[in-house]
């Protein structure tokens, strides 16, 4: 029983990372109708930035500064690479995000080289005992940080004027412009926020992985895709629930089902999602487009 609880908490910690990155994908999908294949490498790049900063600054200062840099970088990507081709076919825009994936990976190796790095965890590695069960503080910290950033973002979207403008611009761009929302600025802002979420995912993933290199986010991006699809690609709530749920399921399957083991975790997770999709073609929380045929 204690073991099961530990595994669930550990699954929630990975799930928080998947959820952050999945939420980033959903944000960009809602604003631009494009799945951003570069999201994982954007997160990886900011993690390397954080590693460089952490050599000179206290951890949380480096953390905060990284988020600022991530925001600027995300917005800049939208302005420079996505906006000029906003009228191109969706597949063209997706291909550009694949270009971002490959290019950023190359750039990071050019700057930081091939050797793996370590980013220390801000949380102590000492376990804490709650009701006789030992939990890793690192896991609990990861869950807390992921949920906190999601909560802050949720408040921003619901309670602020700019948040309202972001939601409106994603739902109905032309009507938004008529009420004075600068839709272009909102898109850049959305990409910036998505990059911030990705940065948080990267910063939480790095210590969990032990050491990290330029390919650190690729499996996480796959889980995030899966989580976003599971929840419904246009549903922020779905991304969070999907991410946390996937983290727990994958961890429990890998631990308790022998056939699955470490290797088949991802295929099994994907299989679950395929089955979910066949039952609910727009994901758990997604809205199904009305099609009359």
Applying CB under 8 A, which residues contact another protein?
Answer: 29, 35, 37, 81, 84-85, 88-89, 91-92, 94-96, 98-111, 113-114, 161, 164-165, 167-168, 171-172, 174-183, 214, 222, 225-226, 229, 233, 263-264, 266-267, 270-271, 273-274, 277-278, 281-283, 289, 291-293
Find the shortest distance in angstroms from Cβ 236 to another protein.
12
Nearer to another protein, 147 or 222 (CB): 222
Find the shortest distance in angstroms from Cβ 128 to another protein.
35
Nearer to another protein, 143 or 224 (CB): 224
Find the shortest distance in angstroms from Cβ 276 to another protein.
10
Find the shortest distance in angstroms from Cβ 133 to another protein.
32
Q: Please spell the DSSP secondary structure of 223-282, one letter per residue.
A: HHHHHHHHH-TT-HHHHHHHHHHHHHHHHHHHHH-TTTTTTTHHHHHHHHHHHHHHHSTT
Q: How far apart are CA 227 and CA 229, in angstroms?
A: 5
Alpha carbons within 13 angstroms on the beta-carbon side of residue 40 total 22
Nearer to another protein, 117 or 177 (CB): 177
Q: Can you give the C-alpha Rg of the chain in angstroms?
A: 19
Q: Is 27 exposed, middle or buried (0-12, 13-18, 19+ CB in 10 A)?
A: buried
Find the shortest distance in angstroms from Cβ 229 to another protein.
5
> For residue 87, which phi and psi values (nearest 5 degrees)?
-95, 0
From the CB of residue 187, how many other CB atoms can be counted at a distance below 10 Å?
A: 23
Nearer to another protein, 133 or 164 (CB): 164
Nearer to another protein, 58 or 116 (CB): 116
């Amino acid at each position: 029983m204690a073991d099961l609880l530990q595994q669930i908490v550990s699954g929630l910690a990975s799930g928080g990372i998947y959820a952050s990155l999945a939420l980033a994908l959903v944000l960009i999908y809602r604003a631009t109708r494009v799945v951003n294949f570069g999201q994982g490498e954007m997160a990886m790049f900011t993690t390397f930035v954080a590693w460089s900063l952490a050599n000179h600054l206290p951890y949380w200062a480096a953390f905060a500064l990284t988020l600022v840099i991530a925001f600027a970088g995300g917005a800049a990507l939208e302005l420079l690479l996505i906006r000029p081709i906003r009228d191109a076919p969706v597949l063209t825009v997706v291909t550009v995000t694949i270009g971002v994936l490959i290019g950023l990976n190359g750039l990071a190796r050019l700057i930081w080289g091939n050797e793996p790095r370590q980013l220390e965890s801000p949380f102590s590695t000492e376990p804490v005992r709650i009701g006789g069960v030992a939990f890793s503080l690192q896991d609990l910290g990861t869950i807390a940080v992921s949920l906190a950033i999601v909560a802050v973002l949720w408040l921003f979207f619901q309670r602020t004027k700019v948040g309202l403008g972001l939601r409106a611009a994603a739902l109905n761009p032309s009507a938004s412009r008529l009420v004075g929302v600068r839709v272009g600025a909102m898109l850049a802002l959305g990409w910036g926020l998505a990059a911030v979420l990705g940065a948080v995912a990267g910063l939480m993933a790095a210590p969990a992985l032990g050491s990290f290199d330029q390919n650190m986010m690729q499996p996480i991006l796959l889980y995030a895709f899966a989580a976003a699809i599971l929840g419904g690609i246009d549903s922020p709530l779905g991304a969070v629930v999907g991410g946390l749920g996937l983290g727990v399921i994958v961890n429990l399957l890998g631990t308790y089902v022998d056939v699955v083991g470490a290797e088949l975790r991802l295929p099994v997770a994907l299989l679950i999602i395929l089955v979910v999709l066949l039952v609910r073609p727009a994901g758990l929380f997604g809205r199904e487009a009305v099609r009359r045929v």
